[in-house]
Structure 1
C-alpha cells in the first residue's frame, strides 16, 4: 500500500466528500447519464409542500428537534429516557454523556431496518412497536437491564468485553425474535456489535481516555477535539466516528489499508486517482453523529456547523423522492427486483438522495417561513423528510415498505 492511497482513503472519510460526490451524482442524473434513473427537479417544489405539510401536522409551533435516536425513545409522546436520566445521581456531566454515548452508539448500530414482519412488545408501556421505534425501545430495555455491561454496580453502560461475547441468541432474546417474529439481519447485527467491542479494545486511546474501553469513551475523544471555547464542529463528530468505527464494518471496501465503511462503487463517479468510482455515504455514522449532539450539549459542549453534516441516504428519504416523482426508475420492473446495496442502482439512488435533501431543505423552509438557523437540516430531516417518506409509503404500499426491494445484512439501512 502507498501513503498516497492512504491519504486518498482518508479524503473520503468526511461529510464534505459525501456532499461533493452526491451532488456530482445528482448532476449526472439530471443530465440523463445514469442507466437506471431519470430525475425531474421540477417535482421538488411539490415535494417540499408535502414535507412542509407533514411538519405542520407534527409540529404546529415549527419547533422541530434534531433527527436523532433520542426521538425514538419516546412512546405516545412520553420520553422513556430523559426523565429517568435526569433523576439519576451522576458523578459529573461527563459521566452522563459517556452513558448516553454508550446507549446511542449501540442502539443506532442495531437499527438498520427491521423488515416488515418484526415487532416488539414493550411490557412497561403495553405497546407493540415496529421498525425504528421498536428497535429503539428493544435496545433501550436491553441497555437498562445491563445486557451490554459486565460492571456489577453499573448496568447502564456498554463494556467492550461484554460486546465481544454477544451472540445472535442474546439479541434474539432481547428483541423477542421468533420464527413468527423474524428480524432481518440478526446475525449481522450481533457480529457488528462484537466487532465494535473488538475495536474498543484495540484502540484504548480512542475509547478509554477516562475509563475502561467502552463506546462512551468517544465522548472524551470528541471533547479533546473541541476548541478553547468548548465548541465542536459537527463534521468532526463524524470524522471521529469514522476513524473509530471503520474496523466494525464487514466485507466493505478498503483503500491503502483504510476501511472505507459505507462507501460504494459507481461507474459514473470519475477521478484520476485511487478514489475513482467511489461514492462515500456514511449513513449510519452520520445519523449517529446527529444522535451524539444532544449528549455533548448537555455536557456543556457547544456543537456548531450542524449543517456541515449531510442528509441521510436511507429508504425513507430516498423513497420520498421516488414516491413524489423526483426520481423515477427507467425500467419500472426494477422496483420489484431484489437489489444488493452495492448495486449501482442502489448506490446512485442513495447518492442522489443526499443531494436532493440539500435541494429540498431551503424549499421546505420557504414554505414554512423559517430560517436555516431556526430549522437546520437535522430538523428538516426529522420533521420532515423522514416522516414524509414514511407517510408517502403508507399511502402507496400495504405495510408502508420502501419502493425498492433491498437485500441488506442489517448494517446499511
Structure 2
C-alpha cells in the first residue's frame, strides 16, 4: 500500500529536504506516484472533483452551467480586441518579456552576437537558460511590488519577467564570466535571497511575496542539475535540455507530454516537500477526498514552463506536438475569471475575504474547477472564432484569451485589479 504524508501548507522547507534520484521515474518509483506526475492525472483528478461540485455535493462551490456561454463570449471579445487577425501566439513567458512592446530578448542576443540563423541552436540553449529560472520566479509578486525600467514601471507578471531578464543578462546565473548568457549549476546553487532582492529592486517599501522561497527554489535547482548529467550535461547547464530532447525526438518532433514528463522528473525533487507519496515529493499536488487516491495534482508552474519552452525548442529545430495534452493553468487569472463571471460561485462569502492556504479543500476545489472550466470553454470559444482545435489549441486560448480576460474583469471589479481570492504564497505554487 502506498504511504502518503501531507505536511501543513505553512511548514518550513530546507533546500536539501527531499532526496533526489538520477534514475528514470518508471524504474525506481511506485506507480501511484508516477501516475500523479502527468498532465493526464491533472485532467482526470480535477474532473473527479468537478463532478462532485456539479452534482451539488460540495460545501464550498456551486457550478452554474448556464453561465458558460457568457464567459465564452467575454473571452472571445478579449481575443478579438487583442488579436483582431486571430493570429494568437501560445501562452508563454515570452509574451511578458515583450512588455510594452519592447523586444528585450532580441536586443540582448544581438549585443552578444547570437543573432542570425548561424546561432540558432546556441540562441535556443540561452533561451532555455533564461526561461526556466524566469518561470520559477513567476509566482505572484503581490500587489505592492513594482519594477522600474528607466521611466517605465512594471508590476506583476510583466515586472517579474523583465526583472528576471535583467538578472539573467547581468551574468549572475552563470559561473563563467566569458559566457554570461547561461544558467549553470554552480551559479544557481550559490544564488541567495539577497541576490534576487537586489535584482528585483526589493525594499521594505517594495516587498516581493515569497522572496526566500524563490531563492531556495533556484538554489535547489542548481543542486539537482549537478547530480543529473543525463539531463543537464557536464558542465551542468539548463540549456543542455535542448540536446537531451533532440536526442529523443523522432523526425524533429517531440510530444508535449514528453516535455512535461522530463520536467516533472528532472525538476520534481526541487519543489518543497508538501505532499510526499512513498518518498516522492509530488510538488503542486494536494489532498482532496473526491479524487481517486485522495490527491489532486496541478503542476501549474511546471506546465507553464512546458508552454514557455515551445518557442526556444522551435528555435532549436524541434516541433512540439500534442499541445492539448497539457491542461489550462489553475491560477489567479484563469480561476478568477470563472469566479468573477459567475460560472463558479463560492458558497461562503468569506472565501473572497480571508487569506487562504493553498492546500485547503476550497482552494484545491477552485483550482480543479478552473482546469475543467477551461476545457469546457475551449470548444465554445473556437466555434465563435470559426477555428478548429488544431489551429487554436488550448495554449492559444489561454494567451488570447482567458488569462487576459481574467485580468480585465478583475480590473473592472476591484481597485488595483486584484484577483477575487487571496491565497498565501511562498512563491512556489502561483
Place the TM-score, normalised by the shorter chain, in its bin. Answer: over 0.9
Q: 1:224 to 1:252 in 2, by over 3 A?
A: farther
Hey, what does 2:331 align to over in structure 1?
Answer: 314
Aligned to 1:36: 60
CA contact (8 A) 1:34 1:268 kept: no
Tell me if 1:295 matches 2:304: no
Query: Which residues in structure 2 correspond to 1:125-274 (within 5 Å)?
Result: 126-208=151-233, 211-227=234-250, 229-270=251-292
Equivalent residues in 2 for 1:315-330 (5 A)? 315-330=332-347
Separation (CA, whole Å) in 1 of partners of 2:189 and 2:296: 31
Paired with 2:63 and 2:28, the residues of 1 have a C-alpha distance of 36
- The residue number in structure 2 matching 1:365 is 382
The question of whether the paired residues in 2 share the 8 Å contact of 1:47 and 1:324 is answered with: yes
Contact 2:60 2:362 in 1 (8 A): yes
User: Residue 30 of structure 2: SS of its match in structure 1?
Assistant: helix
Deviations 1:241-273 (A, max 9, x none): 000111111132121222211111111113xxx
Which of 15, 25, 39 is the matching residue for 1:15? Answer: 39
Unpaired stretches in structure 1, ≥5 consecutive residues: 271-275
Partners of 1:97 and 1:4 in 2: CA distance: 32
Provide the residue aligned with 1:108 in structure 2.
Answer: 135
Of the candidates 282, 285, 288, which is equivalent to residue 302 of structure 2? 285
Query: Which of 91, 94, 103 is matched with 2:121 structurally?
Result: 94
1:370 aligned counterpart, secondary structure: coil
Q: Does 1:55 align with 2:79?
A: yes
Counterpart contact for 1:159–1:197, Cα < 8 Å:
yes
Task: Confirm or deny: 8 A CA contact 1:5 1:255 kept in the other structure.
Answer: no
Change in Cα spacing, 1:86 to 1:360, as seen in structure 2 (3 Å) is farther
TM-score by length of 1: 0.94
1:281-337 alpha-carbon deviations (Å, 9 max, x no partner): 000000100000111111111111111111001110000000000111111122111
CA deviation map 1:208-257 (0-9, x unaligned): 1xx41122222222223212x11100111110000011111113212122
Answer whether contact 2:76 2:385 (CA < 8 A) is retained. Answer: yes
Q: 2:404 aligns with which of 355, 377, 387?
A: 387
Larger mean Cα displacement after TM superposition, 279-288 or 249-258 = 249-258
What is the root-mean-square deviation of aligned Cα atoms in Å? 1.6
8 Å CA contact retained: 1:67, 1:381: yes
Partners of 1:109 and 1:189 within 8 A in 2: yes
Shift of 1:92: 4.5
Kindly tell me the number of residue pairs found equivalent between the two proteins. Answer: 403
Q: Distance in 2 between matches of 1:12 and 1:350?
A: 16
